[in-house]
Amino acid sequence: MNLAGRTSRVPSWQLTLGAALLGLGFLVAAQLASEGPRVRYTSQERSPLVETATVLQAQQEQLKAQILDRRGRIGATEQADAGSAAVVRELNAQLLDARIAAGLIPLTGTGMVIQLDDSLQPVAPDANQSDYLVGARDVRTVVEELWSAGAEAVAVNEERITPSTAIIDVGPSILVNSAYLAPPYQITALGPKDLYARLSASPGFVDLIRARAQTYGIRVSFAEPESVNLPAFAGTVTLRYAHPEPSPSAVPAAAPSASAGG
């Protein structure tokens, strides 16, 4: 029997099955061939990737720490700024008080006005004519009594009284600050509502009225308006012939001298 005859005797389904198995074998081989390099690639690159992730994680932790540090510094700066603002407000308040005390700020508020004017009585034959005129001493006495009664600010004929103000006689007028003033002299004082009552109870003011008004006829009048206005001091506050006394605490203590040894 020849080969062709044997071949013809093989069923067709066996041929089909063989071809299918052969094709399946090729597919499995191809699949294995394609997965082999991928598995080898993953195992080879795993260690560098882990190292990279570790480095990135460390950098992230550093950045988080820097962020927390910056936030802490910002908070501290904000608190420092708040403290500085409080210090500035306190310094501004102290500066305002100093400017008010120096008379550099105009003021308005409750107070009173006292007017002193020369006497209209005839001068007695044996008297001094100047006794019948308002002098610097009279004005100074009223100003001092107003301060003692609680006045916070005083002006004479719109001249603000300051710690450096001098009130002196210059001929028939008086000199206040650098202004020559003539009578009548209006002394305006800003203070509590009962300033007039306090002034009236002052022994020094009572003595002034008794000595000058009742004896020589010096005219004294009072007014209590709803509010009084005091102008600011218009002169200079620079001292020419004086300087501040150094504080004792600012002077360094002398070092103790060493005793001589024998």
Distance CA 136, CA 133 (A): 10
| Lowest-pLDDT choice from 32-36, 147-151, 184-188, 240-244 | 32-36
Looking at every residue in the chain, the average pLDDT score rounds to 78
Residues paired with 18 in a beta bridge: none
Position 156 scores a pLDDT of: 95
Q: Are 243 and 172 within 8 A, CB to CB? A: no
* Residue 184 preceded by cis peptide, ω within 30: yes
pLDDT tens-digit series, residues 7-64: 455 556 565 666 666 666 666 666 655 555 554 545 555 666 667 767 777 777 787 7
Report residue 152: phi and psi, to 5°.
-100, -20
pLDDT tens-digit series, residues 60-76: 778 777 777 777 777 77
Q: Which segment, 79-88, 113-122, 228-237, is predicted with the most confidence on average? A: 113-122
Position 28 scores a pLDDT of: 61
Token code pair at residue 112: 């009173």
Amino acid at the residue 191: G
Is 165's pLDDT higher than 80?
Answer: yes
Instruction: Please name which of 258, 254, 195, 186 lies closest in space to residue 224, comparing C-alpha atoms.
Output: 195
Where is 116: in which H helix or E strand? strand 111-117
Position 67 scores a pLDDT of: 72
Position 41 scores a pLDDT of: 46
In the structure, what pLDDT confidence band is assigned to residue 189 with cuts at 50, 70 and 90? very high
Distance of CA 223 to the CA centre of its chain: 39
